[in-house]
Amino acid sequence: MATWVLRDIGELLTVSGPSPVRAGTTEQEAQQQAERALAVVHDATLIVSDGKVLFAGPSSDSPALHLLPQPVLVQSARGQLVTPGLCDPHTHLIWAGDRSREFDLRNLGASYQTIAEQGGGIASTVKATDQASDEALVDAMLKRLDTALCHGITSIEVKTGYGLVPASELRLLRLIHAARAQHPIAVSPTFLCHVLPPSAREGSERERLVAELADTLELAKQDGADAIDVYCDVGAFTLTETRRLLTRAQQVGLLLRCHAEQFTYTGAAQLAAELSARSVEHLEQLDEAGRAAMAHSQTVANLLPGAALTLRLPWPDAAALRHAGIAIALGTDCNPGSSYTQSQQLMMSLACTQMGMSCAEAWLAVTRQAARSIGLGDRGQLVPGAPADFVVWSADDFRQVCQQLGHNLVRSVWVGGIEQVRDGVRTAGSA
């Protein structure tokens, strides 16, 4: 494989600076720290060899071309912004069916919970997913991975969750693996305990299903799940059930995640933090006690502005999380019911305009911080030895990507040193 030299980079985010320190800093200090973590370099060069970053830094420090592994190919970034590929740490990318009618109904007044109670909502996705062939589900997920890639995403978490019963969830896990094997994006699979099916919502049936799910986790781990996620809320799993599932997952070596404090406050964020969960998701209703528990853990707050926007929930309080010293990541929560988006750029815009985050914080939240929250710690930064996953943008200042609401500013995307998107269009992936 040739050595690629990308020169004339107007602005390079290596995201290799020190992590922002924990609580106690002023607002202004927090912003400065986030910007230092991005380690912005102007007039920069990026050198890629063997799929990895060989050099990322000021052009004045760049090694001479004749010293590099040959052959050497040189390209110009024409003064544009270059960043690590984005990471989306929370998606539900594998499903079948169409819920656009429900989207329209909800906007006209029907609530998410009312639609769910009437057999719409997630039940319709579960039915369509169950009826879809393996091939159709893999094909749909591959198309969504292509869309993600064209939006600058090079690593992603994908949850099961539209099977509900163990055998169906294991099927989706297997299909996520089948799609992953055919696509350049780094995919981290999660086994999601989403909601209980109507046949197992009460009494002994419910108890039996929770026990069965707990018993399935070892198999999920063997079948390649990196993590478990439990949806703890009214209408989903209780706090006691969530504790049981997370504890069992921890015993079999899965990373822990938890949909917590979205519609109601349950105490799940506190539980997840106590169990050293990798991340907790949503947090629209998080209170002071929950923040205090998270502040004493390494658990990342995965905030999902797309769901808050679609469902008209209160915006997650990023300022309060920052003040408590909690690391923040942003995710799309891509799913057909409550957040049908694959644009991390839009999530960054919403985080800045609605949640009180700075552009530097938003960038950190979709790169290194997001990758850390899904256990892909070598992604989300451009340092020697890291996978050469990067994006060349139609922008020359990182703030422009946050500012331009709803625009896809991606010009080209490289994964493992191979150009996968050129001039905004998916290529065949040839080197």
Number of residues this chain uses to bind Fe ion (CB under 5 A): 1
d(CA 183, CA 428): 11
Select from 23-31, 62-70, 146-154, 329-337 the region that touches Fe ion (CB under 5 A). Answer: 329-337
- Nearest distance from residue 87's CB to Fe ion, in Å? 16
- Which lies closer to Fe ion via its Cβ, residue 241 or residue 333? 333
Question: Among the residues of 252-354, which ranges form H helices?
Answer: 268-274, 288-295, 305-311, 318-324, 344-354
Q: Which two tokens stand for residue 275?
A: 């169990």
d(CA 64, CA 66): 6
- Nearest distance from residue 282's CB to Fe ion, in Å? 7
- Nearest distance from residue 335's CB to Fe ion, in Å? 6
- Nearest distance from residue 427's CB to Fe ion, in Å? 31
The answer to whether the CB of 290 falls within 8 A of the CB of 269 is: yes
- Which lies closer to Fe ion via its Cβ, residue 336 or residue 387? 336
- Which lies closer to Fe ion via its Cβ, residue 171 or residue 259? 259
- Nearest distance from residue 92's CB to Fe ion, in Å? 6
- Nearest distance from residue 401's CB to Fe ion, in Å? 24
SS3 13: strand
Select from 3-11, 267-275, 311-319, 331-339 the region that touches Fe ion (CB under 5 A). Answer: 331-339
- Nearest distance from residue 333's CB to Fe ion, in Å? 4
- Which lies closer to Fe ion via its Cβ, residue 20 or residue 337? 337
- Nearest distance from residue 147's CB to Fe ion, in Å? 18
Select from 31-39, 148-156, 330-338, 341-349 the region that touches Fe ion (CB under 5 A). Answer: 330-338
Is 261 an interacting residue with respect to Fe ion (CB under 5 A)? no
Beta-strand pair 186-193/227-231: parallel
| Residue facing Fe ion at closest CB distance | 333
- Nearest distance from residue 259's CB to Fe ion, in Å? 6
Question: What does the per-residue mask of binding to Fe ion show for 285-324, with x meaning CB under 5 A?
Answer: ----------------------------------------
- Nearest distance from residue 30's CB to Fe ion, in Å? 27
Please report the DSSP string for 173-242 in residue order. Answer: HHHHHHHHTT-SSEEEEEEEE----GGGSSHHHHHHHHHHHHHHHHHHHHTT--EEEEEBSTTSB-HHHH
Question: What does the per-residue mask of binding to Fe ion show for 337-376, with x meaning CB under 5 A?
Answer: ----------------------------------------
* Residue 316: DSSP 8-state: P
Question: What does the per-residue mask of binding to Fe ion show for 172-191, with x meaning CB under 5 A?
Answer: --------------------
In the chain, the largest separation of any two C-alpha atoms, in whole Å, equals: 72
Residue with tokens 């920052």: 322
What's phi and psi for 393, nearest 5 deg?
-105, 155
Q: Which two tokens stand for residue 165?
A: 């019963």
Footprint on residues 67-126 left by Fe ion (CB under 5 A): none
d(CA 166, CA 172): 10
Among 169, 226, 333, 389, binds Fe ion (CB under 5 A): 333
Select from 110-118, 205-213, 333-341, 420-428 the region that touches Fe ion (CB under 5 A). Answer: 333-341
Strand order across the 300-303 sheet: 86-88, 153-159, 186-193, 227-231, 255-260, 279-282, 300-303, 328-330
Select from 75-83, 126-134, 327-335, 375-383 the region that touches Fe ion (CB under 5 A). Answer: 327-335
Pick the closest to residue 305 from 355, 240, 360 (CA basis): 355
Q: Which residues share a beta bridge with 418? A: 415
Neighbour tally for 247: CB within 10 Å: 13
Select from 116-124, 165-173, 328-336, 417-425 the region that touches Fe ion (CB under 5 A). Answer: 328-336
- Contact residues toward Fe ion (CB under 5 A) are 333
